[in-house]
Amino acid sequence: MGSLGSILRHLDDFYPLLKLKMAVRRAEKQIPPEPHWGFCYSMLHKVSRSFSLVIQQLGTELRNAVCIFYLVLRALDTVEDDTSIATDVKVPILIDFHRHIYDHDWHFSCGTKEYKVLMDQLHLVRTAYLELGKSYQEAIEDITKRMGAGMAKFICKEVETIDDYDEYCHYVAGLVGLGLSKLFHASNLEDLAPESLSNSMGLFLQKTNIIRDYLEDINEIPKSRMFWPRQIWSKYVDKLEDLKDEENSIKAVECLNDMVTNALMHVEDCLKYMSALRDMAIFRFCAIPQIMGIGTLAMCYNNIEVFRGVVKMRRGLTAKVIDRTKTKADVYGAFFDFSCMLKSKVDRDDPNATKTLSRLEAIQKTCRESGLLSKRNSFVREPRYNSAMVFTLVIILSIIFAYLSANRQK
């Protein structure tokens, strides 16, 4: 749960945070009894708690398919990320990974912590995979094959141009969007979305993560690969790591704003994709991460702290997004509000200001034309409270924090 000080500064966070805490506990207890499914859902909670929460609302059949899809791709990603594996060993594994999910005898130990556990127990994921419907299996196999080939290509290729950047993000995230669309279609709950829109859903989130994680990635030991395209960063510094040097602060922020502006090009496709969804559980599953994406970009834009530490949405705001994203009006409203926040941070002297403002105005125009802004929840504007309400809430929070602390010690 968020810190007491943060909650007192944002009193409207309290109830959503409490609901989120309860939802996490419920999710952790709803582990299927079958050993292989129990392992899969337990592992899902460990490798991505936020993702495990958003899939809980899906129906059982589709939820199982999405869970396995995520774990198979997470295993594939573990192979790609492990810098201790020689390239001549890694590349064939990536290319053939879609076959290994059918092979009971195949095993490859790599990764660390929970990812090593996932790889060591991959046979349990394989058992669950083989219980899925044929159409789900075919979708997962197809995307795994295409992603593995793309990852293998970029093991030996640097991200030089913006086209390279888009291609890499397609392989590692755009294909996830395509795969999810295939799973939604296989469930008979949605029509098959156009590939260009599905791809944009993945690219928007991947680019947001690449921007947000600059410092963590560049400081990683052993050194991880970086995916900021040279075509963008070389306009500002000689080496990518120079962006974190204090003397380059102005150029670093300009480069950051350039990267954010590039990510914004996918927003209109994302809104179009989500507006076509019919099933509300699938809609919320897709919408919550996308709202988190635009919110994160709003926090990162023009913010030198991206190169100094961790920049992300506060936990209470995340809880609000999860709790209050229920309708398409909420999505258009969130994108409108966060784009307004981002727009207010644009410096007219920034070299990309005109392009940034143009993209933000296009997003806001799409949101207005939906005709739904008047019906939205707001995640950004805070309600006002009088002193009596604040005092009462302080007492209540103190009791709850004491109760939760006592429970943790038992």
What's the pLDDT tens digit per position in 91-103? 999 999 999 999 9
- The catalytically annotated residue of 285, 301, 307, 332 is 285
**pLDDT bucket at 255, cuts 50 / 70 / 90:** very high
Per-residue pLDDT tens for 320-353?
A: 888 889 999 999 999 999 999 999 999 999 999 9
Domains and CATH numbers, the chain: 201-403 (1.10.600.10)
Indicate if the pLDDT at residue 105 is higher than 80: yes
What pTM does this model have? 0.89
- What is the average per-residue pLDDT within 129-147? 98
376 is catalytic: no
State how far the Cα of 312 lies from the Cα of 325, in Å rounded to an integer: 19
212 is catalytic: yes
Per-residue pLDDT tens for 262-299?
A: 999 999 999 999 999 999 999 999 999 999 999 999 99
pLDDT recorded at residue 97: 97
> Exposure of 191 by Cβ count < 10 A (0-12 exposed, 13-18 middle, 19+ buried)?
exposed
Unique residue bearing structure tokens 């290319």? 95
State how far the Cα of 187 lies from the Cα of 98, in Å rounded to an integer: 21
- The catalytically annotated residue of 74, 212, 284, 359 is 212
Unique residue bearing structure tokens 């900021």? 228
63 is catalytic: no
Helix, strand, coil shares, percent, the chain, to 5: 75, 0, 25
- The catalytically annotated residue of 129, 168, 307, 332 is 168
332 is catalytic: no
Q: Which of 329, 290, 317 minimizes the C-alpha distance to 381?
A: 317
Per-residue pLDDT tens for 111-125?
A: 999 999 999 999 999
Which residues fall within 8 angstroms of residue 64, CB to CB, at 6 or more apart? 37, 128, 131, 132
